[in-house]
Amino acid sequence: MLTTALLVFLGFCAGLLGALTGIGGGVLLTPILALHFGVPIRQAIGTSLVAVITTSAASSSVHLQRHTTDIRLGMTLELATALGAAVMAYLVGYFNRNALEGLFAAFLLYSAIMILSRGGKVKDEDESSPGINGEVAIPPYEPKRYPLGLGASLVAGALSGLLGIGGGPIKVPVMFIFMGVPLMVATATSNFMIGVTAAASAMVYYRRGDILVHIAAPLAVGVFVGSLLGARLTPRIHTKIIVYLLVAVMFYLAGHLGLHLLRELL
Amino acid sequence: MSQLREPAFDRAVALVLRTGAFGCFFIMLAGLIDSFFMNGRIPADIERAGVLLMLATPVVRVIVACFLFFREKDYRYGWTSLGVLVILLLGAVFGIGEH
């Protein structure tokens, strides 16, 4: 019972911070489940995927109502992300626990350093902010360089299937910089794609028994409330301090995972 | 063609996602509240139903988009959606790799 309440709280924090800073829930939930709740890393990944789908469904329904999501572009790139995610999720069944923990620690370290090197900026700033009535002026554009976009989506999907994350930090810059999609549309479309991408791998995890429902349910409840609250607070909160706090947490989790791994190996 | 603004299309897809997310939230919440009062199979089954609904939501979203594209005679994206659907279902059917 105490554990359940803690899981709701953990999900709430992850959802809130995810909505405020753009650092997705999966990156933090997986290692915390593995290190502090004694969940084997593969199950931790599968379980946090459920939270990732919840966040995507809740937030992209908001973006869709602002008409900033390019459903056609999203659907096209989903061919690649879903394929990458499903195939990688399948392969993860043959990875051993230490390899997964090592990969995850490396990924945490890499993300934390990337955020620091950008001076605490996670999201690229939106060049146009939503109008009062939620209607936004989007300049006309035509997505280009589809092969490059599909290739990057395949990699993003595979990472999602491997680590249980959303993969926004790959998809958004690729759409924005290489495909010529306005940033606001790229962000909304990436969010939109995460649901299908995570579902593609989550179904493989579920079939393998790697989603623990008694952990996923309290987490998802917390994440849902946290991300809705975070979306409302976003315009009113200065996020830089929170981002640095999260970077510290990421370093701590990476170090903890690394130590855990060392103890296993020695 | 990508900047086509179709409010009705966006609304339909948004409705699917919102229904899934809220439905899931309430089912899981019910499971949680149950688990505080009784131990055993019933709360676990409710929580499982919530998780499965969450996994199904993106699939339903693809099916709805696929249907809408074909109805608009936008075959290119209709087939694209069908492709995504096939990948999703293959993942669900061949979800093996037991250890």
pLDDT in tens, A149-208: 999 999 999 999 998 887 777 888 889 888 988 888 888 898 899 999 999 999 999 988
Using CB atoms, pick whichever of A58, A199, A206 lies closest to residue B59: A199
User: B4 pLDDT exceeds 60?
Assistant: no
Burial A30-64 (b: 16+ CB within 10 A, else e): bbbbbbebebebbbbbbbbbbbbbbbbbbbbbbbb
- Between A12 and A127, name the one with better pLDDT: A12
> Residue A260 belongs to what domain range?
2-123+142-265
Interface test with A, best of B13, B38, B55 (most A CBs within 10 A): B55
User: A222 pLDDT exceeds 50?
Assistant: yes
Residues 218-247 of A with CB under 8 A from B: 218, 220-221, 224-225
- Using the Cβ of B94 and the Cβ atoms of chain A, whether some distance falls under 8 Å is answered with yes
Alpha carbon distance A160, A201 (integer Å): 8
pLDDT recorded at residue A45: 93
User: A216 pLDDT exceeds 90?
Assistant: yes
Average pLDDT over residues A242-262: 88
A-B CB pairs within 8 A amount to: 179
Alpha carbon distance B91, A203 (integer Å): 6
The sign of the dihedral angle between the CA atoms of A144, A150, A151, A152 is positive
Average pLDDT over residues A13-31: 82
Alpha carbon distance A115, A250 (integer Å): 11
Asked if A72 and B29 count as a contact pair (C-beta separation under 8 A), the reply is no
pLDDT recorded at residue A137: 67
Residues 162-201 of A with CB under 8 A from B: 195-196, 198-201
pLDDT recorded at residue A18: 80
> Which residue in B57, B60, B56, B77 sits closest to B1, CA to CA?
B77
The gap from C-alpha B47 to its chain's centroid, in whole angstroms, comes to 16
Contacts of A164 (CB under 8 A, 6+ apart): A26, A29, A30, A44, A45, A46, A48, A49, A52, A198, A201
Asked if A229 and A18 count as a contact pair (C-beta separation under 8 A), the reply is no
pLDDT tier for residue B75 given thresholds of 50, 70 and 90? very high
Using CB atoms, pick whichever of B11, B13, B83 lies closest to residue A79: B83
- Between A232 and A130, name the one with better pLDDT: A232
Q: Alpha helices, DSSP H only, in chain A?
A: 2-21, 25-36, 41-65, 71-92, 97-117, 146-163, 168-173, 183-207, 213-233, 240-265
User: B5 pLDDT exceeds 60?
Assistant: no
Q: Flag whether A182 is in a domain.
A: yes
Q: Flag whether A41 is in a domain.
A: yes
Dump pLDDT digits (tens) for A60-106.
888 888 888 899 999 999 999 999 999 999 898 888 888 899 999 99
- Token pair of A201 as six digits: 């791998």
- Nearest CA-CA distance, residue B63 and chain A, Å: 11
3-state secondary structure of A248: helix
> Which residue in A18, A108, A198, A215 sits closest to B58, CA to CA?
A198
pLDDT recorded at residue A123: 58
Q: Which residue has the tokens 């900033």?
A: A68
3-state secondary structure of B31: helix
Alpha carbon distance A53, A34 (integer Å): 19
Q: Flag whether A137 is in a domain.
A: no
Alpha carbon distance A101, A99 (integer Å): 6
Alpha carbon distance B59, A134 (integer Å): 28
Q: Flag whether A156 is in a domain.
A: yes
Asked if A89 and A164 count as a contact pair (C-beta separation under 8 A), the reply is no
Q: Flag whether A209 is in a domain.
A: yes
What's the domain count of chain A? 1
Q: What is the CA radius of gyration of chain B?
A: 17
Report CA-CA distances (Å) from B51 to A32, A173, B21, B86.
20, 31, 10, 21
Instruction: Name the helix (H) or strand (E) containing A170.
Output: helix A168-173
Using CB atoms, pick whichever of B18, B95, B98 lies closest to residue A203: B95
Alpha carbon distance B77, A121 (integer Å): 35
User: B6 pLDDT exceeds 80?
Assistant: no
Contact B18 A61 (CB under 8 A): yes
Q: Flag whether A135 is in a domain.
A: no
- Using the Cβ of A79 and the Cβ atoms of chain B, whether some distance falls under 8 Å is answered with yes
Residues 5-24 of B with CB under 8 A from A: 5, 7, 9-11, 13-15, 17-18, 20-21, 24
Q: Flag whether A131 is in a domain.
A: no
Furthest C-alpha separation in chain A: 60
- Between A18 and A251, name the one with better pLDDT: A251
Q: Flag whether A184 is in a domain.
A: yes
Dump pLDDT digits (tens) for B17-70.
999 989 999 999 988 888 777 766 677 888 899 999 999 999 999 999 999 999
